[in-house]
């Protein structure tokens, strides 16, 4: 019976509202007191039933809830024949609960939309080679799947055949389609907008990036910040205190109506709900924009960050070295570049790849007698010539003459922060290339936004040489730069900043920098959803888009401000209502309940504003 009544709360509220209208029409329009009293009495009795059940359930677990206060107030009003107010209070309380739930559901819409994107089926290649549609739970790692235009990719996988464009908004927050072809990685929950591809399943079910995102966001919603924990402890003692206050007022004044009015007005509903709704809305906004905020405590801590420490490679820079400067000294340019490309094609070093990418398609000679010089480069015979490719030390080892012009170019390239690749043909310098990682587009502007948001210290730590790191720091306007930093050096530096009282966020790629990510008050991973990034960090920028970082900081600051606004609204309304009872003659139960429910809706609507938050500068 209790479950049935609670399940019909909305219907009871509707019936109560109709009975109240009938009561007032009978009383004021037809002067029929009998029907009016009967309507108000039935509305009160019906309305108090679900409230009393919830109060009883709360008392069973030794909690004096808001429902307990309202139940006592309604029953007391009923007993002193204040039927109009008891009917109105029950209706407003039930109707307010309906509006609260409806509005709260909207704040969770971002999460609901996310979970609804979860794939339910897949076209799996069977033993006979044909593809059949099966439930996504029946897909195992290693299975071959077919995805057609408009289809939802069911697992994390790798493209085997075909090409197309995939909308990865559910993972990265970016609506622009991403091109996919052979060996490209794809994510579960993303949509193939055009083309047809076959993929091999690498991760399935809850192990997919999409599954982990949903799990993390749902956990974040359920987490409680220090402010929420305090409010829960406060309301645990505050609600009984209101009950005691009402009893004291009744003992001294013998005014039952005044006492039960205090019970209604002292309900802390808006205070209890104000902070959680802000957190849920903030987390939902982040999920929509490719920012995973892993809990309410993260929002609180990140909003107060004053120092951000960045790994350089893959964070401030693209992480893909390219030829930035080059000088050619020999007369036969094409021949020298062909020798260089032929030798570098033999190496898997990142600098070698940068060189071959820069040269592009060219004739390749047969390479013989290859000798890899550790820490220096490569020496080989190509088309009857001795070719040396490497750094200055290798050139000196090979007795290659470096004239003043070449030395001046070397110094210039080093000043630009470039790694050097020299090429000598039969002992004569032919090519000098300067290779460096490129700064991410828009990073300088994003760092300026972080400063405007209140970040005082911007620090870069890198394993590169100090000159390269200094160059990046000067170009981006960072406050400090440190080179030659191994992972253990970075974590020690972060620990030192924390000991000095700074609130530190560390931003890295989530792999080599895991110790620093875990040690900082806030660890932020640029990792496109890698396993280590998701597990180690507090915030994940799913698409590795640096511009999400200012959005994340602005969002957490807005969320924290929103919490404070809601607390101020809730406390202010309660103080106003209680003051009105003692210092005015117009306050009663009905008006108090109306204002009380109104304050709850105000804090919910205020929290919902965060769903539309966008960084303005």
Owner of token pair 């009016």: 36
Q: Running DSSP on this structure, what letter comes out for residue 176?
A: S
Active site residue 531: no
Reading the block at residue 572, the tokens are 């202010």
- Tokens 């340019």 sit at which residue? 333
Q: Which residue has the tokens 């590795």?
A: 544
Does pLDDT of 529 surpass 50? no
Using one digit for the tens of pLDDT, what is the confidence trace for 111-133? 555 566 678 899 999 999 999 99
Percent of the chain surpassing pLDDT 70: 90
610 DSSP 8-state letter:
G
DSSP secondary structure string for all residues of 108-125:
THHHHHHHHTS--EEEEE
Collapsed DSSP state (helix, strand, coil) of residue 181: coil
CA torsion through residues 87, 88, 93, 95, sign: positive
Tell me: pLDDT of 528 over 60: no
Token pair in block for residue 505:
């966020």
- For the chain, which domains are there? 120-154+156-203 (2.70.150.10), 322-436 (3.40.1110.10)
Strands 144-147, 419-425: pairing kind: unpaired
How far is residue 530's CA from residue 345's CA, in Å, rounded to a whole number? 30
- Three-state DSSP at 328 gives strand
Q: Which one of 311, 409, 437, 509 is the catalytic residue?
A: 311
Strand order across the beta sheet in which 291-293 lies: 291-293, 539-541, 522-526, 504-508, 307-311, 457-461, 480-482
Residue 146: how many CB atoms within 10 A of its CB?
19
Average pLDDT over residues 73-96: 85
Give the chain's mean pLDDT.
85
Distance CA 340, CA 389 (A): 7
pLDDT in tens, 2-40: 888 988 899 999 999 999 999 999 988 888 999 999 999
What CA–CA distance (Å, rounded) separates 305 from 574? 33
> Helices (H) and strands (E) in the chain — how many of each?
23, 20
Give the tens place of pLDDT for each residue, 244-254.
988 998 898 88
- Digit-coded pLDDT (tens) for 380-395: 999 999 999 998 889 9
pLDDT in tens, 323-355: 988 999 877 888 999 999 999 888 877 788 889
Nearest to 267 by CA among 599, 596, 594, 605: 596
DSSP, res 316 = I
Helix (H, G, I), strand (E, B) or coil at 612: helix
> Cα–Cα distances in Å, from 246 out to 98, 159, 561?
27, 69, 33
3-state secondary structure 234-279: HHHHHHHHHHHHHHHHHHHHCCHHHHHHHHHHCCCHHHHHHHHHHH
CA 515 to mean position of chain CA atoms: 21
Distance in angstroms (rounded) separating the CA atoms of residues 589 and 615:
43
232 band by pLDDT with thresholds 50, 70 and 90: low
The residue that leads in pLDDT, 459 or 376, is: 459
Which two three-digit tokens encode residue 564? 């404070």
Distance CA 338, CA 464 (A): 30
Torsion angle (degrees, nearest 10) of CA 179, 184, 187, 192: 40
Pairwise CA distance, residues 412 & 400, whole Å: 20
Measure the CA–CA gap between 412 and 37, rounded to whole angstroms: 95
**Cα separation, 55 vs 71, whole angstroms:** 7
Q: Are 469 and 312 in contact (CB under 8 A)?
A: yes
Half-sphere exposure at residue 109, Cβ-oriented, CA atoms within 13 angstroms: 11
Q: Give residue 439's pLDDT.
A: 86
Three-class secondary structure of residue 135 per DSSP: strand
Residue found under tokens 């206060």: 69
SS (H, E, C) 386-408: EEEEECHHHHHHCCCECCHHHHH
Q: How far is CA 346 from CA 254, 351, 369, 430, 432, in A?
A: 97, 12, 12, 19, 19
- Determine how many CB atoms are found less than 10 A away from the CB of residue 128: 6
Are 83 and 74 a contacting pair, CB within 8 Å?
Answer: no
**Who wins on pLDDT, 192 or 414?**
192
Q: What is the pTM of this model?
A: 0.71
A 10 A CB-CB count for 234 gives 14
Contact yes or no for 40/23 (Cβ under 8 A): yes
Model confidence pLDDT, tens digit, residues 541-577 = 876 788 889 999 999 999 999 999 999 998 899 889 8
Strand, helix or coil for residue 478: coil
The DSSP 8-state label assigned to residue 329 in this structure reads -
Bridge partners of 368, per DSSP, are: 381
Q: Is the pLDDT of residue 198 over 90?
A: yes
Give residue 172's pLDDT.
Answer: 59
| Alpha-carbon gap, residue 65 to 235, rounded angstroms | 8
pLDDT band at 202 (very low <50, low <70, confident <90, very high): very high
Q: Which residues pair with 578 in a beta bridge?
A: none
Specify whether the CB–CB gap between 181 and 163 falls below 8 A: yes
Roughly how many angstroms between the first and final C-alpha of the chain, as a whole number? 56
């Amino acid at each position: 019976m209790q479950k049935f009544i609670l399940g019909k709360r909305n219907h009871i509220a509707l019936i109560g509202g109709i009975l109240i209208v009938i009561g007032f029409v009978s009383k004021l329009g037809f002067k029929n007191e009998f029907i009016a009293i009967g309507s108000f009495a039935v509305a009160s009795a019906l309305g108090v039933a679900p409230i009393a059940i919830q109060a009883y359930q709360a008392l069973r677990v030794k909690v004096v809830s808001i429902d307990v206060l309202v139940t006592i107030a309604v029953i007391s009003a009923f007993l002193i024949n204040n039927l109009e107010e008891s009917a109105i209070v029950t209706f407003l309380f039930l109707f307010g609960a309906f509006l609260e739930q409806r509005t709260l559901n909207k704040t969770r819409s971002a999460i609901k939309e996310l979970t609804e994107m979860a794939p339910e089926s897949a076209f799996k290649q069977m033993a006979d080679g044909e593809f059949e549609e099966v439930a996504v739970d029946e897909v195992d790692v290693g299975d071959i799947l077919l995805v057609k235009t408009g289809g939802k990719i069911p697992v994390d996988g790798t493209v085997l055949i075909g090409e197309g464009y995939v909308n990865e908004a559910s993972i990265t927050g970016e609506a622009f389609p991403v091109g996919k072809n052979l060996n490209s990685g794809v994510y579960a929950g993303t949509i193939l907008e055009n083309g047809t591809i076959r993929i091999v399943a690498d991760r399935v079910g809850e192990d997919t990036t999409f599954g982990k995102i949903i799990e993390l966001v749902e956990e974040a919603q359920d987490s409680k910040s220090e402010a929420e924990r305090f409010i829960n402890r406060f309301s645990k003692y505050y609600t009984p205190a209101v009950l005691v206050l009402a009893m004291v007022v009744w003992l001294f004044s013998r005014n039952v109506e005044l006492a039960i009015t205090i019970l209604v007005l002292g309900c802390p509903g808006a205070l209890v709900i104000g902070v959680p709704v802000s957190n849920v809305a903030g987390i939902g906004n982040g999920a929509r924009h490719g920012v995973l905020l892993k809990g309410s405590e993260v929002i609180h801590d990140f909003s107060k960050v004053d120092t951000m420490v960045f790994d350089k490679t893959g964070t401030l820079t693209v992480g893909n070295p390219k030829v930035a400067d080059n000088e050619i000294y020999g007369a036969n340019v094409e021949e020298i570049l062909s020798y260089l490309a032929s030798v570098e094609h033999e190496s898997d070093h990142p600098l070698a790849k940068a060189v071959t990418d820069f040269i592009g398609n060219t004739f390749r000679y047969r390479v013989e007698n290859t000798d890899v010089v550790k820490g220096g480069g490569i020496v080989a015979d190509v088309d009857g010539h001795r070719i040396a490719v490497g750094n200055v030390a290798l050139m000196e080892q090979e007795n290659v003459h470096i004239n003043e012009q070449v030395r001046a170019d070397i110094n210039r390239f080093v000043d630009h922060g470039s790694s050097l690749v020299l090429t000598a043909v039969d002992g004569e310098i032919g090519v000098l290339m300067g290779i460096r990682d490129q700064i991410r587009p828009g990073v300088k502007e994003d760092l300026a936004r972080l400063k405007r948001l209140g970040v005082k210290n911007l620090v870069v730590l890198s394993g590169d040489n100090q000159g390269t790191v200094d160059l990046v720091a000067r170009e981006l306007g960072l406050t400090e730069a440190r080179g030659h930093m191994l992972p253990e050096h970075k974590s020690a530096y972060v620990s030192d900043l924390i000991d000095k009282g700074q609130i530190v966020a560390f931003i890295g790629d989530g792999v080599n920098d895991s110790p620093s990510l875990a040690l900082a008050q806030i660890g932020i991973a640029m990792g496109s959803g890698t396993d280590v990034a998701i597990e180690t960090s507090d915030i994940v920028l799913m698409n590795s888009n640096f511009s999400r970082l200012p959005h994340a900081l602005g969002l957490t600051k807005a969320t924290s401000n929103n919490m404070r606004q809601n607390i101020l609204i809730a406390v202010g309304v309660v103080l106003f209502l209680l003051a009105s009872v003692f210092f005015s003659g117009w306050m009663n139960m009905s008006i108090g309940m109306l204002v009380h429910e109104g304050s709850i809706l105000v804090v919910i609507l205020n929290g919902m504003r965060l769903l539309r938050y966008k960084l303005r500068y």
